[in-house]
Amino acid sequence: MTEELIKEVKHIQKCLINKEMSGEEWEEKMEAVRKLEEVSTYLKDALGRGIEF
C-alpha cells in the first residue's frame, strides 16, 4: 500500500508541474510540490523501516 501511495504522490506532483500558472498561483503550486516531496520522502523512509500504510 505504501508503494502505491508514493506513486500517487509522484503522479500528483507531475500533474501540478505540468499545469501552467504564473505569479502567486505559481508560487503556491511550487509550495505544494515541495510539500508533496516531503510526504514522498517520509513514506519512503517509513517503507525502509518496514512501516506500511
**Model confidence pLDDT, tens digit, residues 5-52:** 999 999 999 999 999 989 999 999 999 999 999 999 999 999 999 999
Is the alpha carbon torsion for 35, 36, 38, 43 positive or negative? positive
How many CA atoms are closer than 13 Å to the CA of 51, on its beta-carbon side?
7
Task: Look at residue 33 in the predicted model and tell me its pLDDT.
Answer: 96
Task: Look at residue 29 in the predicted model and tell me its pLDDT.
Answer: 95
H helix runs in 1-53, sequence order = 2-18, 23-48
C-alpha cell at 19: 499545469
